[in-house]
Structure 1
Amino acid sequence: MKKATWLAGSMAVLALTACADQNTESETNTGAAASDGNVNQADEENSEANNEAGEEETVSEDALEIEFWHAMGGGLGDTLEELVADYNASQDQYVITPEYQGSYEELLTQYRTVGGTETAPGLVQMFEVGTKYMIDSGYITPVQEWIDRENYDISQLEENILTYYMVDDELYSMPFNSSTPVLMYNKDMFEAAGLDPDNPPETFSEIAEAARALTNEDTYGFSMLGHGWFFEQMISTQGVDFVNNDNGRSDLATEATFGGEEGLRVFEWLSDMTEEGTMNYYGRDWDDIRAAFQNEDVAMYMDSSAGITGAIDNAPFEIGASFVPHADEIERNGVIIGGASVWMSDGISEEEQAAAFDFMRWFNEAETQADWHMNTGYFATNPAAYELDRVVEAHEDVPQLTVPITQLQETIPSSATQGALISVFPESREQVVTALEALYQGTSPEDALNQAVEGTNRAIEVSNRAAE
């Protein structure tokens, strides 16, 4: 077999099964997607077992092998490897070899050490907040080069997913696993509290009012994971950029812009519910907040759209799903896509890039995306997948799956909903979460928000100075 990149051992095709989640995306086997990256030990052991199983497979000696680094463990890792196995079986020219690298943060760290060298993978999955780093790294070939070369029609793909990865009308990577946040709620508790389970709250004040009705000695009304992704969404849905210069898309971002009245509305809303005792904070671990919901310790919480199926499968009660809450003062603008995309490494041969692009093109086919959507809960990058009979039937059985699709497709295109491009996004998210945790401990909304802004500005300044 011809090698496209160095491999630490001989791996090949893995054909398994699955479903589940991205822990914002570092997937756990509980079913969600957003962007954070904590894979538990069971996930790692599962992936190791998958790799061992894969080593027993054989592939054609004439096939060109392309290494594909990814951050999906557990059930999602199984599903990804099944998808790759399907591609490998569909033709005999190329073999895509998936290699699990841990969480998104761990994957980014690993790629930084090998990018631009002979040991770099031909394909790499990267979470959305790594986009700016990947563009600036010099380690990648924009996928637009192959789109133009092959006359590939990207208009068939979901526009509100593509826009995140577009800069100056150029697509840099191919969207892969995409999600948005949703409000999840316990319909049984809504009925018991005298609330309409088919008319969930939409605004900050409506959430606060419902939380009061739902809170009792056993249950909190509302909770939100300690993850900056959710705060970013509640800024974007107010039509406000996270950083200046059109969210870092018209020029290099130099400062945070989320510290105005829009950011304060979010911090005050969370602070008020915390002081009232209608909101409880369960920390930064996706498993903890999901367990609290399943155990009926909390009636409403924010999750990833890719967590819907897992929640429904595991809950002993009926679950509702609704749009991201928005401030009362504004009309909803929509959401920013989360998840990850697949990038093509620079420096590999033209033949290897052709193989990488062939795989990208294949996984965006409607039939492939239908399976991906139903098995994981992620969006179909190709909306034609939603029109296939088996997907229509699945949506009839689980109508909650249509909520994030509608939310995404109703999003108003703008720099706010397109998402920010900053190389220090992971650091900014850490600043936001630290500030929110201070808020929950009694720091005033103004002081906590300023803490997040100042921390983000310091990170941006240091990064920009280093890039000069």
Structure 2
Amino acid sequence: MVKSSLFWMLILTVAILTACSNSDSKTDESSSSTNNSSSSSEGNNETNATVEEKVTIEFWHAMSGTGQESIEKIVKGFNESQDKYEVIAEFQGSYEESLTKLRGVGGTKDAPAITQVFEVGTKYMIDSGYIEPMQKFIDKDNYDLSQLEGNILNYYKVDGELYSMPFNSSTPVMIYNKDAFRAAGLDPEKAPETFAEVIDVAAKLKTADMYGFSMLTYGWFFEQLVATQGGLYVNEDNGRSGDATEALFNGPEGLNVFRFLDTMNKAGTFGNFGTLWDDIRSAFATEKVAMYMDSSAGVAGAIKNAPFEVGVAYIPHADEVKRNGVVIGGASLWMSKGIAEEKQEAAWEFMKYLATPEVQAKWHLDTGYFAINPKAYDEQNVKDKWAEFPQFKVTVDQLQDTVPGLATQGALISVFPESRQQIVTALEELYQGKDPQEVLDKAAEGTNRAMEIANKTKK
């Protein structure tokens, strides 16, 4: 009886030891899978180790709607394309809201690996101490930048170095109602090119229910109309050879723009639809205005929403100058400083993936933004879309026809949002009947004060 009891105690002890041994060997497995058979536990352990070894990074962005949907598809494609890295895309609200959040963690290990920042935040980001310049990774990897669109790269380059990776890039275009052109006896395939031509055509298009021309009350469009004349926004080579201290936009080029708008406003051919994109786009779709300026990213929506044939053209320029072209708008992606090196490597790999022709073709078609890699335009899906909607090609042609220079490279000032608000106020006062030079000078003075304060704070 005693021997029998000892025998069963020995059996029970062996069983317990065996169970403990199996439990330890499957600790990793149980954390990620509960439905695999014991016969494949060794293979599963290898798989789960791979999952645990993935480097996970955060990508903060400000894209909503179709832009957010496209980003999520791109991130999913990257995560499935390899087994070393995992990107988590996180919507952070508007550009301003996202930047405010970044200020709280910038330069620390808690910062996201990648942050999307609008183009006018470029100077701020360079000076912030939050970021690692992209040039560091480009040089280390011997990455060929010539494969990317030169006129997009130019904006984000300072002293020959690229600080961020372009992402959602756009430029302004002029969109017009071809049916209205026909009704007014105008050639629908020949949009006006100069300020004088726009003024003349706007008068011919004006009806009791429709204005001839409109422009959103937004500083970006003013900047573009100055730049296409070859004018600089601020001194110090548009802020690219040093910290700008003086606004130049109230010079001849800026005055040309304000007089151009003032002439049509006083003639009753200019429609003022305020500061909201939706309002001016709705006005065009409902035939309250025949020509207006929009972002290239708005072309698809204009075509979709209009019950008439839509034309797209280059933005106009002053009659006495040659067209210089456009400045890149939109946003770029910035690499965080202070995070683990392996996270920076993961972010760089993702950025390279984003720049491939296939991904850029999808992004271009999903959103209307430019492809930063021009080879994307050779993809068959892009060719098919352009054949159906040739308006898209006009936006790319305008960008590629842009003459490189300080004007079209764009200005760099850390207080750009404040300066744009000064221009908005100046435009509103212009439409109320105030003198063009007077309101421009006032905006320049406000910008100068903001730059002075920013420069003192920096020092």
2:87 aligns with 96
Across the aligned residues of Structure 1 and Structure 2, the Cα RMSD in angstroms comes to 1.0
Does residue 282 of the first structure (1) align with residue 281 of the second (2)? Answer: no
Instruction: Provide the C-alpha distance between the structure 1 equivalents of 2:52 and 2:187, rounded to a whole number of angstroms.
Output: 62
2:437 aligns with 446
Q: Is the Cα–Cα contact under 8 Å of residues 155 and 410 in structure 2 kept in the other structure?
A: yes
Residue by residue over 1:103-155, the C-alpha shift from the partner in whole angstroms, topping out at 9 and shown as x without a partner, is 11111212122211232111000000000000000000001100011111010
2:411 aligns with 420
1:245 aligns with 236
1:185 aligns with 176
Instruction: Give matches, 1:58-457, under 5 Å.
Output: 60-457=51-448
Residue identity in the other structure for 1:348: I
Residue by residue over 1:291-310, the C-alpha shift from the partner in whole angstroms, topping out at 9 and shown as x without a partner, is 11111111110000011111
Q: Is the Cα–Cα contact under 8 Å of residues 171 and 295 in structure 2 kept in the other structure?
A: yes
Instruction: Provide the C-alpha distance between the structure 2 equivalents of 1:456 and 1:380, rounded to a whole number of angstroms.
Output: 33
Q: Is the Cα–Cα contact under 8 Å of residues 205 and 212 in structure 2 kept in the other structure?
A: yes
Which has a greater percent of helix?
Answer: 2
Q: Is the Cα–Cα contact under 8 Å of residues 256 and 318 in structure 2 kept in the other structure?
A: yes
Instruction: Provide the C-alpha distance between the structure 1 equivalents of 2:55 and 2:329, rounded to a whole number of angstroms.
Output: 32
How many Å apart are 1:92 and its aligned residue? 1.4
Instruction: Provide the C-alpha distance between the structure 1 equivalents of 2:185 and 2:95, rounded to a whole number of angstroms.
Output: 42
How many Å apart are 1:409 and its aligned residue? 0.6
How many Å apart are 1:63 and its aligned residue? 1.8
Say which is worse superposed, 59-68 or 405-414, in terms of deviation. 59-68
Instruction: Provide the C-alpha distance between the structure 1 equivalents of 2:100 and 2:439, rounded to a whole number of angstroms.
Output: 29
Q: Is the Cα–Cα contact under 8 Å of residues 66 and 366 in structure 2 kept in the other structure?
A: no
Instruction: Provide the C-alpha distance between the structure 2 equivalents of 1:63 and 1:111, rounded to a whole number of angstroms.
Output: 24
Instruction: Provide the C-alpha distance between the structure 1 equivalents of 2:92 and 2:183, rounded to a whole number of angstroms.
Output: 45
Helix, strand or coil at the partner of 1:185: strand
Residue identity in the other structure for 1:328: D
Q: Is the Cα–Cα contact under 8 Å of residues 108 and 337 in structure 2 kept in the other structure?
A: no
State the TM-score, normalized to the length of structure 1: 0.86
How many Å apart are 1:60 and its aligned residue? 3.8
Helix, strand or coil at the partner of 2:312: strand
How many Å apart are 1:216 and its aligned residue? 1.0
Instruction: Provide the C-alpha distance between the structure 1 equivalents of 2:121 and 2:189, rounded to a whole number of angstroms.
Output: 37
Q: Is the Cα–Cα contact under 8 Å of residues 365 and 382 in structure 2 kept in the other structure?
A: yes
Residue by residue over 1:46-99, the C-alpha shift from the partner in whole angstroms, topping out at 9 and shown as x without a partner, is xxxxxxxxxxxxx94332111011111122111111111111111111111111
Instruction: Provide the C-alpha distance between the structure 2 equivalents of 1:65 and 1:157, rounded to a whole number of angstroms.
Output: 27
How many Å apart are 1:102 and its aligned residue? 1.0
Moved over 6 A (4+): none
Helix, strand or coil at the partner of 2:185: coil
How many Å apart are 1:158 and its aligned residue? 0.3
Instruction: Provide the C-alpha distance between the structure 2 equivalents of 1:436 and 1:206, rounded to a whole number of angstroms.
Output: 21
Helix, strand or coil at the partner of 2:253: helix
Residue by residue over 1:254-274, the C-alpha shift from the partner in whole angstroms, topping out at 9 and shown as x without a partner, is 111111111101001111111
How many Å apart are 1:392 and its aligned residue? 1.4
Instruction: Provide the C-alpha distance between the structure 1 equivalents of 2:286 and 2:63, rounded to a whole number of angstroms.
Output: 26
How many Å apart are 1:389 and its aligned residue? 1.9
Helix, strand or coil at the partner of 1:317: coil
2:453 aligns with 462
State the TM-score, normalized to the length of structure 2: 0.88
Instruction: Provide the C-alpha distance between the structure 1 equivalents of 2:116 and 2:420, rounded to a whole number of angstroms.
Output: 20
Residue by residue over 1:23-55, the C-alpha shift from the partner in whole angstroms, topping out at 9 and shown as x without a partner, is xxxxxxxxxxxxxxxxxxxxxxxxxxxxxxxxx
How many Å apart are 1:459 and its aligned residue? 0.7
How many Å apart are 1:172 and its aligned residue? 0.4
Instruction: Provide the C-alpha distance between the structure 2 equivalents of 1:74 and 1:394, rounded to a whole number of angstroms.
Output: 21
2:15 aligns with none
Higher Cα Rg, which structure: 2
Instruction: Provide the C-alpha distance between the structure 2 equivalents of 1:301 and 1:285, rounded to a whole number of angstroms.
Output: 13
Q: Which runs of 5+ in 2 are unaligned?
A: 1-49
Q: Is the Cα–Cα contact under 8 Å of residues 108 and 339 in structure 2 kept in the other structure?
A: no
Residue by residue over 1:364-400, the C-alpha shift from the partner in whole angstroms, topping out at 9 and shown as x without a partner, is 0011111111111111100011112221121111100
Instruction: Provide the C-alpha distance between the structure 1 equivalents of 2:197 and 2:52, rounded to a whole number of angstroms.
Output: 62
Q: Which runs of 5+ in 1 are unaligned?
A: 1-58
Instruction: Provide the C-alpha distance between the structure 1 equivalents of 2:306 and 2:298, rounded to a whole number of angstroms.
Output: 12
Helix, strand or coil at the partner of 2:224: helix
Helix, strand or coil at the partner of 1:61: helix
How many Å apart are 1:281 and its aligned residue? 1.0
Say which is worse superposed, 130-139 or 388-397, in terms of deviation. 388-397
